[in-house]
Amino acid sequence: MDRNELLSILKQSDDQRIKIAVVDIDGVLRGKILRKDKFLNVLESSSGFCDVIFGWDVVDVAYDNAKVTGWHTGYPDTNYTIDINTFRKIPWDENIPFFLGDFSQTNHPACPRSLLKKVINKAKKMDLTPIFSEEFEWFNFDETPDSLHDKGGVNPKPLTPGMFGYSVLRSSQKSDYFNDLFTLLEEYRIPLEGLHTETGPGVYEAAIQYTDILEAADRAVLFKAAVKEIASKHGVMASFMAKWNAELPGCSGHIHQSLWKNGQNLFADNKDEYKMSPIFKSYIAGQLDALPEILPMFAPTINSFKRLVEGAWAPTTLTWGLDNRTTALRVLASGGGSTRLETRVPGSDVNPYLAMAAALAAGLYGIENNLKLSIKPTIGNGYEDKSNGTLPPDLKSATDKMKSSSLAKSLFGDDFVDHFCRTREWEHRQFAASVTDWEIKRYFEII
């Protein structure tokens, strides 16, 4: 749809509401409804959005260590622009028109979508077209915000009991919700390749159809928000925490990726023993090289690291393998158009813009520097293959490593790395200052 066609549709509509949103550093949609005439003015130029959205955390507590905005700047408005290519109508909410915006025209160092666009521009200069998709696992609960609040925010009741991976039975027992997810997401321009139950009580998995990387990231961000909204219509709470229960598997946000040129998948090479092209091998080498230094972009929360443990379907080592689900990087190499890399480090709690920016930037770094994939593919248990090293074990150590990384700064710029690492340091401090149920149970009586 071109600009004139879009304007015609909006002007002819009787609906005076337009919903717009931007995305904060944690991947949370921050938005509002605008009157149509106000929106049309914004579309023609730009408008201001209070930059507190980059000055507070996921629960709206203001950072005390931020530089880009804060009490010291007065939290001013910062200009954002609307991307007309993100136009959708929200089918579960009276078909209200919806658009995403970003801060790329003002080059705001804290805007995740703007950062991804910068990395995409680098790929374009290399004459490469990144094709990406993300898949998510998430748990569903028989709760409402009020019922969970009444429980003190703990012990949510799963939507269904038991371990029922790929279960036709469980999905049919909640078919109204399950079918609405597939159908309404399609209408919302988030087509799914597949939707099924995963192993665990009330857990689903969805694979979003692949497309160019910016649209893939938009779909991934909107998928998480949309699922929560659709779930609410059914009296369900959907959670994208990486690990909500220590006894159950965590939730992944695996990223699938390939590079194309002139309609050809540049990762495929039928003549190679692994059916992998040299550019594909350099791309993997770049990710393996960068992973320890940019890990917070894949694992952004304290909880992220509860998922990254041995034997829990999430990687802990710097490994790659051919169709191996125990390695950090899983290569799917048919030699044809479906040849791709699956980066298995991200959990479902990621900000898709940052995770995709990290994956692509690291891969391009490998290609630019003609890095050689010197390590062999891991065969068997990737948790036991520590020959190339392991991932940092927690958010603090991962953030410390990224903060001092010249590679991270070269990939994403000093200002982004500084701001992002400050937000992760804040996140660690909030956790370190809290008293948990574990501590009370362990120490209250006996110590």
Question: What is the model's pLDDT at position 44?
Answer: 84
Query: Around 183, how many Cα atoms within 13 Å sit in the side-chain half-sphere?
Result: 8
Structural domain total, the chain: 2
Q: Do 218 and 85 belong to one domain?
A: no
Question: What is the model's pLDDT at position 45?
Answer: 81
Total residues found in the chain within this entry: 447
Q: Would residue 440 count as lying in a domain? A: no
Residue 127, phi-psi category: left (phi > 0), alpha (psi -120 to 50), beta (remainder): left
Measuring CA to CA, which residue among 60, 235, 249 is closest to residue 137? 249
Task: Give the structural domain span for 67.
Answer: 3-108
**374 Cβ contact list (under 8 Å, min separation 6):** 285
Q: Would residue 437 count as lying in a domain? A: no
For each of the chain's 447 residues, which pLDDT tens digit applies? 788 999 999 988 889 999 999 999 999 999 999 999 999 999 988 799 999 999 999 999 999 999 999 999 999 999 999 999 999 999 999 999 999 999 999 999 999 999 999 999 999 999 999 999 999 999 999 999 999 999 999 999 999 999 999 999 999 999 999 999 999 999 999 999 999 999 999 999 999 999 999 999 999 999 999 999 999 999 999 999 999 999 999 999 999 999 999 999 999 999 999 999 999 999 999 999 999 999 999 999 999 999 999 988 999 999 999 999 999 999 999 888 999 999 999 999 999 999 999 999 999 999 999 999 999 999 999 999 999 999 999 999 999 999 999 999 999 999 999 999 999 999 999 999 999 999 999 999 999
Q: Do 404 and 322 belong to one domain?
A: yes
Q: Do 141 and 71 belong to one domain?
A: no
This prediction has a pTM of 0.97
Q: Do 194 and 217 belong to one domain?
A: yes
- CATH code where residue 375 lies: 3.30.590.10
Question: What is the model's pLDDT at position 335?
Answer: 84
17-23 and 96-102 as β-strands: parallel, antiparallel, unpaired? Answer: parallel
Q: Do 78 and 157 belong to one domain?
A: no
CA-CA-CA-CA dihedral for 181, 186, 192, 193, to nearest 10 = 130
- Strand boundaries in 146-188, DSSP class E: none
Q: Do 155 and 180 belong to one domain?
A: yes
Q: Do 178 and 218 belong to one domain?
A: yes
Question: What is the model's pLDDT at position 46?
Answer: 78
Q: In sequence order, which ranges of 13-57 are alpha helices (DSSP H)?
A: 36-44
Q: In sequence order, which ranges of 265-392 are alpha helices (DSSP H)?
A: 278-294, 304-307, 352-368
Give the Å distances, CA to CA, from 22 to 53, 86, 100, 113, 200.
9, 11, 6, 9, 33
Q: Do 302 and 378 belong to one domain?
A: yes
